[in-house]
Structure 1
Amino acid sequence: MIDIIPPLHLSDESLNKLFSYRLSRIREVMRLKQVSVLILTSPVSLRYAVNFDEYQLFQSHIPTCYLFLSLEGPIQLHGATGRKFPNVTHYQGSDFLTPFDGGLDLSTNTQHLISNLQAFSQQLNEPLESVGLERMSPQVSQRLTDKAIQVYDAEPIIEQAKLIKCELEIDCLKHSIQVAQYGMQLMYQALRPGITENQLWSIMHQVNAAHGGDWIEGNMLASGPRTNPWLQEASHRIIEKGDMVAFDTDMIGPLGYIADISRSWICGGGKGNQAQRDAYRHAYDEVHHNMQLIKPGISFRELSEQAFIRKAEYRDNRYVCSFHGAGLSDEYPKIYYQEDWARSGYDGLVQENMVLCVESYSGIKGGSVGVKLEEMVRVTSKGITPLTDFPFEDELLKDSYP
């Protein structure tokens, strides 16, 4: 059995403030976009809106439950077992808009949902003219359009709402990070020749579950030659002495907040070989250079343009982005490298009280060594405050053999 670090104790008053803040953020954006009602299905959106926390991974691929959220007035949750969710005014059964729940022909259930939405809209202070939908059957969009109701994508509304964190959210993020870094400490202690990647990674899962966390987005741990290229998930490979071991926590922890941290270690410790040290130094320098660029008012494009100039040998094997948002999960924005900007980049402004992850993957294309490093920071009026503080490997930052 593992020890448990102290939980984050939030009073009922603090929890109510947290949930009210998140709801107010959603409604602020709804008002800006002139959307009357949202119908939400994503477990992350449901968690943000009403702290829904039932069977979240199941909900992510079979969205049995959904939420009617009005701009002003009632909030109605469909399909939930519990009756404890903040700011929910009404509970009803689900009309089952998935083939698993409702069969292969969803036309009748879709009509039931539209009828329930119309009944719900009668409680509003104005006619139902616009609805934001999140990942629902296209039949729902078609039925609403047939009734001359404007249909919007709800997902950008929720992402914009989640962008700015209140102080209580920062406290929740810090606690999830504390739990993840405790798991990392136990992994560090357990790392020895003969352990498999899966065995090592399971420690993080156990720590998260023991602290009431939700899930881990991927099994992002690799060792030795499997560290290059990146995004190879954990396997039964036996870790050997001298292997580089790299991982990315992607942990959705207590109260649903993410801890997104990456580190790379040498099994058995020490300075490693020259290729390992070179890759580690490159990743370390990239993360720390890019952290210092962040400030309120800088644009996403400027961050991309001013980002660390990667050495030529590491460019082809770059990570998918250099910065991204974080909160209940990975969030908007995703800020791309200049090489990818023309195809995928989009602009915006960094704002105070956003939380950003700063990432680097450094591995030569076709090589056998890769290093993954990542830090989380809070944007402040003067720049950033780091949220993560797990130590780096000083030995790997040295330039010469012992």
Structure 2
Amino acid sequence: MTAYNRYHYQNESTPLVNPVTANSHQAACKYRLERVKQQLLKSNCSAILLYDPVNIRYATDSSNMQVWTLHNFARYSLVFAEGPVILWEFHNCEHLLDGNEQVDEIRTAINWSYFGAGNRIEEKARQWAGEITDLVRKYGGDNLRLAVDKAEFEGLELLQRQGLQLIEGHSLMEEARKIKSADEIQLMHWTIQVCEQGIQRMYDELRPGMTENELWAWLHFENIRNGGEWIETRLLASGPRTNPWMQESSDRIMQEGEIICFDTDLIGPYGYCADISRAWTVGHVPPTDEQRRLYSLAYEQVQTNMALLKAGLSYKEFSEQAWQIPDEFHHNRYCCVSHGIGLCDEYPAIAHQGSDWDSAGYEGVFEENMVVCVESYIGEAQGNEGIKLEQQVLITAKGVIELSCYPWQDDWLL
């Protein structure tokens, strides 16, 4: 094994130049808010209460401690179908909304979780519920149907006691987010460009003797310095840790000739997600015959299933027509054939045919301007290594446009 020199010459790549104009960004934000309002009207809801920071970002284009607020209920928003957008911001953070044209009113959030309220939960929750109810009655008129994406059950009970009819709102937001505008696609292209620079940096830095974590850190580095935000998982594995899949990066030292696979799950500039998987050998040495076989099958699965996608195809038809996974790889199959993507992994998640469809499949139809990721994992149960590949594509009337142009290992294909 060759020792990895942590002080080797570093790649002198420079930050990318952001091609997105302010007008395009603003147009995307206005489109997203309008999509939410359309879904509210379609569902006959006066408003939606948002706690999920991704949903808040979609509707208001505001971002503050996104990961922290996933588990600390310190920011929330109320979006009316025919009324204002109100955002409750964390303490002393109102300045973060300077110049934001999506939000009509900013208030200070009431945190009634145990972390924020301690033994005053009931008092703070009542204060919160009273404020929400008063606003729904003020701007919703006789329509007291309030959609909610997520909240603590104590607060939901209080809202119901005050006469509000609560509607499950997570699905409403997924439907709103499903169809992308041309401006959104432009923002997504920029995130993918940033992600691909991170992938290339990993490719350039990869050498025997470094740890998985050291390699994975380069993707974070390029994302952050180009205006990205965070990475949702740490799915990078090498050698025997590539089978089974879903093992996150570790301090394992990678050795020459081993397979290394990763899944970016990268939240980049403007909050959009780039979800791309590729596989290489450590040291970029020629693959073994078995590595070629695994890679060729995974590549075939992705390419076959991409070619099927088009507007008007039902989810069930896609599942039924999808590439048949050979029996020896079926046990370790990926969790879905494909899934939607936008600000993060989104609806739909398409189940594999057969028993997977029977237990987890659901109806729906692919539409123009949906963006989806096509997935593959090929690795035998109890096998030595596996291959994870994934491609992000835009659905059009005639098929798909691949949004990622990062190269495949074409010279590996059988």
Give yes or no for TM over 0.5: yes
- C-alpha distance in 2 between matches for 1:24 and 1:345: 30
Residue 65 in structure 1 maps to residue 80 in structure 2:
no
Q: Please give the TM-score of this superposition, normalised by the length of structure 2.
A: 0.93
2:14 matched residue in structure 1: 3
The ranges of structure 1 where at least 4 consecutive aligned residues each deviate by more than 4 angstroms after the TM superposition are none
Structure 1: gaps of 5 or more residues: none
| Stretch deviating more after TM superposition (82-91 or 215-224) | 82-91
Question: 1:101: how far off?
Answer: 1.2
Select the residue among 188, 198, 206 that pairs with 1:183: 198
Q: 173-182 or 126-135: which moved more?
A: 126-135
Q: 254-263 or 103-112: which moved more? A: 103-112
- The residue number in structure 2 matching 1:121 is 136
Distance 1:83 1:330 in 2: 26
Judged with a 3 Å threshold, the aligned counterparts in structure 2 of structure 1 residues 134 and 308 are, in CA distance, closer, same or farther, namely same
Secondary structure (helix, strand or coil) at the match of 1:87 reads: coil
Q: Is 2:264 aligned against 1:282?
A: no
**Which residue of 151, 172, 186 maps to 1:157?**
172
Q: State the match for 1:206 in structure 2.
A: 221
1-structure distance, mates of 2:49, 2:278: 38
Q: Contact 1:22–1:49 at 8 Å: present in 2 too?
A: yes
**Identical amino acids, percent of aligned pairs:** 37
Task: Check whether the contact 1:324–1:357 (CA below 8 A) recurs between aligned residues.
Answer: yes
Displacement after TM superposition at 1:105 (Å): 5.0
Q: Which residue of 2 aligns with 1:309?
A: 324
Deviation, structure 1 residue 144: 2.1
**Residues 166-218 of structure 1: CA distance to partner in whole angstroms, max 9, x if unpaired?**
00100011111111111111111111111110000000000010011111011
Distance between the aligned counterparts of 1:23 and 1:54, measured in 2?
18
Residue aligning to 1:83: 97
**Structure 2: tracts of 5 or more residues without a match:** 1-11
Report the 3-state secondary structure (helix = DSSP H, G, I; strand = E; otherwise coil) of the residue aligned with 1:151: strand
Residues 365/105 of structure 1: CA separation in 2 closer, same or farther (3 Å cut): farther
Displacement, 1:377?
0.6
- Letter of the aligned partner of 1:135 in structure 2? K
Does the Cα contact within 8 Å between 1:50 and 1:87 map onto a contact in 2?
A: yes
Match for residue 45 of structure 2?
A: 35
SS in 2 for 1:56: coil
Q: 1:369 is matched with which residue?
A: 385
Distance 1:341 1:149 in 2: 37
Residue 340 of structure 1 aligns to which amino acid in structure 2? D
After superposing the two structures, state which structure 1 stretch, 269-278 or 17-26, moved more. Answer: 269-278
- Counterpart position of 1:21: 31
Contact persistence 1:219–1:234 (CA under 8 A)? yes
User: How many angstroms does 1:128 deviate by?
Assistant: 4.2
Q: Which deviates further from its counterpart, 263-272 or 65-74?
A: 263-272
RMSD of the TM alignment (CA)? 1.3
Query: Using the alignment, how far apart are the partners of 2:59 and 2:361 within structure 1?
Result: 28
- Tell me if the contact between 2:78 and 2:87 (Cα under 8 Å) persists in the aligned partners: yes
Contact 1:67 / 1:77 at 8 angstroms: preserved in 2? yes
User: CA separation in 1, counterparts of 2:301 and 2:209?
Assistant: 32
Q: 1:119, 1:148 → 2: CA distance?
A: 11
Alignment correspondent of 1:355 = 371
What is the identity, as a one-letter code, of the residue corresponding to 1:207?
E
Query: Given the alignment, which residue of 307, 320, 324 partners 2:339?
Result: 324
Q: How far apart, in 2, do the equivalents of 1:306 and 1:104 lie?
A: 56
- 2:46 is equivalent to residue 46 of structure 1: no
Task: Return 80-89 or 241-250, whichever deviates more.
Answer: 80-89
Q: Structure 2: how far apart are the matches of 1:329 and 1:104?
A: 35
| Alpha carbons 2:302, 2:375 under 8 Å: kept | yes
**Which one of the candidate residues 277, 295, 299 is aligned to 1:262?**
277
In the TM superposition, 1:211-230 aligns within 5 A as: 211-230=226-245
Is the Cα–Cα contact under 8 Å of residues 48 and 148 in structure 2 kept in the other structure? Answer: yes
Letter of the structure 1 residue corresponding to residue 279 of structure 2: S
Q: Is the 8 A contact 2:133 2:162 kept in 1?
A: no
- The aligned length equals 397
Aligned partner of 2:268 in structure 1 is 253
TM-score by length of 1: 0.96
Structure 1 window deviating more from structure 2 (240-249 vs 110-119): it is 110-119
More deviation, 64-73/109-118: 109-118
Return the alpha-carbon distance in structure 2 between the equivalents of residues 333 and 312 of structure 1. 26
Once the two structures are superposed, what CA deviation does each residue of 1:198-254 show, in whole Å capped at 9, x if it has no partner? Answer: 000000000010011111011110000000000000000111000000000000000
How far has the Cα of 1:387 moved from its partner?
0.4
AA in 2 matched with 1:208: N
Cα offset for 1:125?
5.4
2:112 aligned residue: 97
The 8 Å contact of residues 36 and 129 in structure 1, kept in 2 or not, is answered as yes
What do residues 255-276 of structure 1 show as CA deviations (whole Å, max 9, x unaligned)? 0000000000011224312221
* Deviation of the 1:131 alpha carbon: 0.8
Find the aligned partners of 1:292 and 1:232 in 2 and give their Cα distance.
29
Which letter maps to 2:16?
Answer: I
